[in-house]
Structure 1
Amino acid sequence: MARMTALYRNFAESDAPAVAALVSRLYPDRAVSATELLNADRDQQNAGSRHARFLALAPGGELAGFSAYDQSLGQFHPRRFRLEVIVAPEWRQQGIGAALYAWAETQLLTVNALTVRSNVSEDDEAAQRFARQRGFAEERRTWVSSLDVTHFDAAPYAGLEARLLAGGVQLLSAADLARQHPHDWQARLHALFSEVRLDVPRSDPATPISLSQYREWILEDPGFLPEAFILARTQGGELVGQSDLYRSQNSPDLFIGLTGVQRAWRGLGLATALKLRGVRYAQAQGVARIWTDNESSNAPMLRVNERLGFVREPARLSVVRHWPEV
């Protein structure tokens, strides 16, 4: 059978609904709305990141697939990039993925890239083969885990918050913090974030995120939920832990972003208590499922999730291609 002749062109803002719909259809855990997609693009633009998206259109004008590259804002390096190539199942085996990747490779070589990283699912052998054929090799694994909160049993944890409070730690939300400290609540959140994020496993070293960037990328994100951004605070007023839930406009589920506790306060059950508050929030909102992802080497957080009943889904393989340094 003859291959389909696709039309290829650069992305325009008017394409955002189609791109968001394709991502959300194929990868529900990455569901995104057009507004959220464009917001992320603006974050990249404002940070000075190199980023672009290239589309493949079927003869009738339907979006058949796209490729996109950008740079990680939290571990920025001018010559390290991220890449995704997505083709709708009904248009695969037509050479579209190869053409989309070839465009991205040309773009990355033009800017003298050192590395490019992408993700493939461990249960998608075709995608893994596609990556291997283009020089990618597995670097690490991340597990997506989900929890059905409609059947969650909180009884085993009934006394946890009371014990923490007796030990001098209370839980509150970012909304509570904003009401109590209207002039500097954002700076307080940023200070906590800047510390606990350093212990998150990552492929490249973390780079500083300023207060203004934190405000733009997190607090002004369309999915930010102040009541679901749970914090741990000492009697002296120091924030020592966080676990934040977000909602995509294109998904009924909630996503746990960063759960982190200052080193001196670990081992007390704070991470568990923070996540339990998130479960209660989801239940109160009628949300059936919350999910998160964790790097495979993050054993402490994986244990917390497993005890709470999170169920692992197929791993995401982080694959990387290196080019010689010149």
Structure 2
Amino acid sequence: MRVTRMLPALVALTAASACAAQSAPVPRAQTPVVVAQAAVTTAPTPTPSPTTTGTARKKVTLGIADITPMGEKTEKVGVGFPIIVTFDRDVKNKAEVEALLEVKPDKPVDGAWRWVSKRKVIYRTKTYWQPNQKVLFTARLSELPGNTGAKNVSRRFAVGAKHISVVNTRKHVMKVYRNGKLAKKIPISAGKGGLVRNGVDVYLTTSGTHLTMGKKAVETMTSSWMGVTDPKDPRYYKEEIPWAVRISDSGEYVHQSAGYYHFLGRSNQSHGCVRATPAGAKWFYTIAQRGDVVKITGTKRKLQWNNGWSYWQLNWTQWKKGSALKS
């Protein structure tokens, strides 16, 4: 089911998907696996050198408005997680700023930044993070020319277990691998197709590498995304759906099937989400970490790289082209 309010740019790129939640899907503000926000730590700002006219005047021309995900004391993240940094104003000197952003994992892996707007930059690794480690992010903004009054910011992330889920929409099964071993097979029902808008069948589940973005024990899903709000309309629905784990911005979830259990493992009957058995959905919800990998195969609808946290849809060469640095 899908969300009623969406980022304008995303609507144009992805079209709507069929499941609809009342809460809005925004990576920087979406309900995370753990709700409490971890504090951003600040490193000491270097003391400016004295000049002939006295101490240099400190200025702040750029700061950080938000960092995703949250810190090590608040949540553990999956091996596919991105680091999303949002600045408090437009960045004109992107290369200079990017050069001051450091990522130091306990278990090294290649990674690169990609600018997706004037204020937002995203870090993705070449291959998945190694599980069960810490990753330190530091932004040395005080070293930016003309920004001497800014605070250096750091945050340490905790990477949890390696969860890779593979959804085969043709065989109607989701296999969940934990640290390389098959942990559970869950019968599912994916998008049935049949509703084409702007050349896109929005009732099909998108095929590609998704990342889990958040979860709710109960999510309210409605038909308002289709413009259907009249309860007398036969297409109208408003349902409280248990164990909902979001995997895209276009409204796709892995969630418990609202009845229709006889279709699970047999045929695709959803509006785009991955429906699962009550026991399977609850189990998946319980282990889910933001940034876990969910690979979906078997449909003709391709997942767009900027639909939620679907950054693994770009290959490594494509991803690096979004960096402001030459190398």
The TM-score with structure 2 as length reference comes to 0.30
The TM-score with structure 1 as length reference comes to 0.30
**Structure with the higher fraction of residues in helix conformation:** 1
**Structure with the higher fraction of residues in strand conformation:** 2
